[in-house]
């Protein structure tokens, strides 16, 4: 009798592991960026992080010798860079006003939207297992939200909530663009152009909205840029080797890392509803990825 995982599942294990590592790095980066955004504002933090990331990634991109991308590929780079820039500014604006884990939890409407966008824009067939896993994970988010918003909200919290939810819709689009980008460019190129477009796009408003950081904030931005570049490359590599609907439900694991980072760095509590929601989230991710792998074999 055959033992062990099926060939289809084995082929997905490495992209799944790469995506989960990328998401973990992104969550740590979110914590670093929250500190930078508190110091100089979300817009300025994203703008100058784009410059730091471009400087970090340029030598690697040049060393790989890929050359300037074709016009069609460049359009994808620019589109995702602009979408990701607006998305990130809104997200970091939101988590300055909300706990980090709470902001991540609210953003989890994005993978559910992305499943349908992948079907519309990429022609992927949305399997019942992927939908079921995402709905189960979304129930976990509802449990968390029910435990977090059980009292009157102040004006700043409402602003943070609205900004995070709008960011989540853009994040869904970003996930689909990530898959498109991964199919036409190497991870180093993806990371370089995302940081370059981010800096050039947000740099248009730098004179008014992006004061130049001091040395302490620059260190935060450099660390954040390095974490972001590593995460983008890992996720790009993974999305180039597995369908969006297989990897998208893994986005929910970011909550676990966000809760840990928020607790350690900002003394944000981990509550019982939060832990109950995490259990549902993890269950949904496992169901969606395992069932999708089995159906693709």
Q: Is 214 left (phi over 0), alpha (psi -120 to 50) or beta?
A: beta
Could you identify the residue written with the tokens 């991540």? 104
Alpha-carbon span 95 to 37, nearest angstrom: 9
Please state the domain extents for the chain.
10-296
Per-residue pLDDT of 69-117, as tens digits, reads 999 999 999 999 999 999 999 999 999 988 898 888 778 777 667 777 7
pTM summary value? 0.81
Alpha-carbon span 221 to 198, nearest angstrom: 14
3-state helix, strand, coil in the chain (%, to 5): 85, 0, 15
| Closest residue by Cα to residue 20 from 268, 269, 295, 257 | 257
123 burial (CB, 10 Å; 0-12 / 13-18 / 19+) is exposed
Share of the chain above pLDDT 90, in %: 43
Average pLDDT in the 207-224 region?
95
């Amino acid at each position: 009798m055959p033992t062990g995982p099926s060939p289809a599942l084995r082929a997905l294990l490495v992209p799944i592991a790469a995506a989960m590592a990328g998401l973990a790095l992104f969550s740590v980066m979110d914590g670093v960026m929250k500190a930078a955004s508190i110091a100089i504002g979300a817009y300025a933090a994203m703008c100058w992080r784009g410059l730091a990331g471009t400087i970090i990634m340029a030598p690697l991109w040049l060393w790989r010798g890929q050359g300037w991308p074709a016009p069609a590929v460049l359009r994808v780079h620019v589109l995702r860079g602009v979408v990701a820039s607006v998305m990130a500014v809104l997200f970091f604006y939101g988590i300055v006003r909300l706990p980090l884990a709470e902001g991540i939890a609210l953003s989890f409407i994005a993978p559910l939207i992305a499943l349908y966008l992948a079907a519309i824009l990429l022609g992927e067939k949305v399997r019942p297992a992927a939908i079921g896993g995402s709905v189960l994970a979304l129930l976990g988010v509802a449990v968390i939200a029910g435990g977090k918003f059980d009292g009157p909200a102040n004006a700043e919290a409402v602003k943070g909530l609205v900004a995070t939810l709008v960011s989540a819709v853009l994040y869904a689009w970003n996930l689909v663009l990530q898959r498109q980008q991964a199919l036409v460019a190497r991870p180093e190129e993806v990371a370089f152009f995302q940081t370059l477009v981010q800096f050039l796009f947000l740099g248009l408003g730098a004179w008014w909205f992006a004061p130049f950081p001091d040395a302490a904030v620059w260190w935060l931005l450099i660390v954040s840029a390095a974490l972001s570049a590593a995460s983008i490359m890992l996720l790009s590599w993974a999305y180039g080797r597995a369908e969006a609907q297989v990897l998208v439900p893994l986005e929910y694991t970011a909550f676990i890392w966000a809760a840990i980072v928020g607790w350690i760095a900002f003394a944000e509590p981990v509550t019982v509803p939060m832990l109950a929601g995490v259990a549902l989230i993890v269950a949904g991710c496992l169901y969606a990825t395992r069932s999708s792998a089995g159906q693709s074999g």
